[in-house]
Amino acid sequence: MKYRPIPNSLYIKNRQKFTAQMIPGSLAVFNSNDIYPVSADSTLPFAQHSDILYLSGADQEETILLLFPDALNPAHKEILFVRETNEHIAVWEGAKYTKEKATEISGIQTIMWLSDFDKVFFDLMTEAHTIYFNTNEHYRQAVETQTREDRFIAKCKAQFPAHQWQKSQPILQEIRGVKEPEEIAQMQTACNITEKGIRRLLGFIKPGVWEYEIEAELLHEFVRNRSKGFAYTPIIASGPNANVLHYIENNQQCQAGDLILMDVAAEYANYRSDLTRTFPVSGRFTERQAAVYNAVLRVKNAATKLLVPGTLWAEYHQAVGEIMTEELLGLGLLDPADVKNQDPHKPAYKKYFMHGTSHHIGLDTHDYGALKTPMKAGMVFTVEPGIYIPEEGMGIRLEDNVVIQEQGEPLNLMAHIPIEIAEIEALMNGEG
């Protein structure tokens, strides 16, 4: 791995938080992701399942974590099963975890080879009456592929029909939503790497540059700072492309006078950052562009102040909508009649700002976290309002990542990334 080791104290704490909510006499199993085939002998790069990462730090394929707090043998309270390596594997694929290395990473003392799982699992299931399955219940999930976890669940239900089943997801949604200091430190590093990429671009963007050239500049800067690369598929949308919310072709040339919207960010140690900035291709905003830009910035700043402990998700988005409505009225994009006659289920501002303002972020870009209960300190959210005006060939979005604090305004992990017009123009024109 490119990233520096994370203290295993984080994973010990995370497991303690999970097992504290398990019912007596139960065990839980977490599987690593598959390596997915593309065609012929090609595969996608391995990406670990965020749940087993969160609970163990094990960043290797064919890994299984078993948690059994009430195991009769204390050595079986937590077991990490890893793939047994050999000289052939080491030559062709590189070093895999030894048992000692797996303990060092995870803090788990009992490490077993994956080949022993079925036998050990059967034995422990005779002691347990309930198993926690790690089903995917994320509110954005749309998985069509059968995963390693899915196969395990199907096999387990057939093999142990008399056992009771519970879901890991409610516990994970609760505990993963509130980040530990060690996690916030990794996210800050990801944000700092993202900042380096953005500052690199400020002297690079100009008329005639291609969107994919900007993508290449970012990737270079991210990887040279120990990131695997982009935290998600990059959006580099110049001119009217910015009005396509998930524009990822990045194959157009930047034109003088246009704006370029970039939703791009680095990962670090599997933790994500998520940034959007909108810059003028020619280095200066027009008067109209600046007016819309500053309106978006004011909405972002006002929305950020609402992210405090106790805030309810639905009420937050309603409040941001009201703030955005006032800005759109000021820009002449809405008139009072539009607002007076609006459908409450589809408010007028949605014509120009059609997506949500915030989502949890962490090991996943759209991370786990409670959405129906009051927000808590330690939760990390994006704040990303935008105004999209196809008829003017303009789309502007601004996005930062913030940590809810016990008192006061959230901590902005991206506070040092240029966002004010004066600083952006100065840096783009070599005046900063």
Catalytically annotated residue among 78, 195, 327, 399: 399
Instruction: Read off φ and ψ for residue 105, nearest 5 degrees.
Output: -75, -45
For residues 125 and 303, what is the distance between their CA atoms, to the nearest angstrom? 49
Catalytically annotated residue among 272, 277, 359, 360: 359
Catalytic (active site) residue 420: no
Catalytically annotated residue among 335, 355, 416, 420: 355
Catalytically annotated residue among 263, 267, 327, 364: 263
Catalytic (active site) residue 368: no
Give the residue among 201, 8, 15 at the shortest CA–CA distance from 106.
Answer: 8
> What are the residues facing 360 on neighbouring strands?
381
Catalytically annotated residue among 246, 287, 343, 345: 246
Up-side HSE of residue 406: CA atoms within 13 Å toward CB?
Answer: 0
Catalytically annotated residue among 352, 397, 400, 425: 397
Catalytic (active site) residue 343: no
> What are the residues facing 133 on neighbouring strands?
167
3-class DSSP string for the chain: CCCCCCCCHHHHHHHHHHHCCCCCCEEEEEECCCCCEEECCEECCCCCCHHHHHHHCCCCCCCEEEECCCCCCHHHCEEEEECCCCHHHHHHHCCCCCHHHHHHHHCCCEEEEHHHHHHHHHHHHCCCCEEEECCCCCCCCCCCCCCHHHHHHHHHHHHCCCCEEEECHHHHHHHHHECCHHHHHHHHHHHHHHHHHHHHHHCCCCCCCEHHHHHHHHHHHHHCCCCCCECCCCEEEEHHHHHCCCCCCCCCECCCCCEEEEECCEEECCEECCCEEEEECCCCCCHHHHHHHHHHHHHHHHHHHCCCCCCCHHHHHHHHHHHHHHHHHHCCCCCHHHHHCCECCECHHHHCCCCCCCCECCCCCCCCCCCCCCCCCCEEEEECCEEEEHHHCEEEECEEEEECCCCCCCEECCCCCCCCHHHHHHHHCCCC
Catalytic (active site) residue 399: yes
Catalytically annotated residue among 59, 327, 367, 384: 384
Catalytic (active site) residue 359: yes
Catalytically annotated residue among 183, 274, 327, 364: 274
Catalytic (active site) residue 384: yes
Catalytic (active site) residue 258: no
Catalytic (active site) residue 76: no
Catalytic (active site) residue 163: no
Catalytic (active site) residue 263: yes
Catalytically annotated residue among 104, 366, 409, 423: 366
Catalytic (active site) residue 355: yes
Tell me the catalytic residues: 41, 246, 263, 274, 355, 359, 366, 384, 388, 397, 399
